[in-house]
Amino acid sequence: MVKEKSTDELIKELLEKRGYESRNQIEKFINPDYSDFRNPFDFENMEAIVNKIISARENNEKIFIYGDYDVDGCTAVALVYKFL
């Protein structure tokens, strides 16, 4: 008989394969602290992009939203669409 793994075991195994080796790293991934998130303005050209979106909104211009055609891509596009 094949022994089934628990959900916790499967998640731990998946995260280990993605490079999360210690229990602390796994815990921080699953339950991040606000201070763990990067500042979005650290991304290249973020200020210019934000200003362009604000300008487009103020001038009633259309904004094209593009994303990957997979589950997280479609979800991201839907969230950005709802946000804008």
Q: Which residues of 24-48 are buried (b: 16+ CB within 10 A; e: fewer)?
A: eebeeeeeeeeeeeeeeeeeeeeee
Q: Which of 81, 49, 54, 47 is nearest to 66 (CA)?
A: 81
pLDDT tens-digit map of 38-65: 999 999 999 999 999 999 999 999 999 9
pLDDT, position 48: 97
Share of the chain above pLDDT 70, in %: 98
Confidence of residue 6 (pLDDT cuts 50, 70, 90): confident
What global pTM score does this model have? 0.59
Instruction: Please tell me which residue, 21 or 64, carries the higher pLDDT value.
Output: 64
CB atoms near residue 4 (< 10 Å)? 7
CB atoms near residue 53 (< 10 Å)? 13
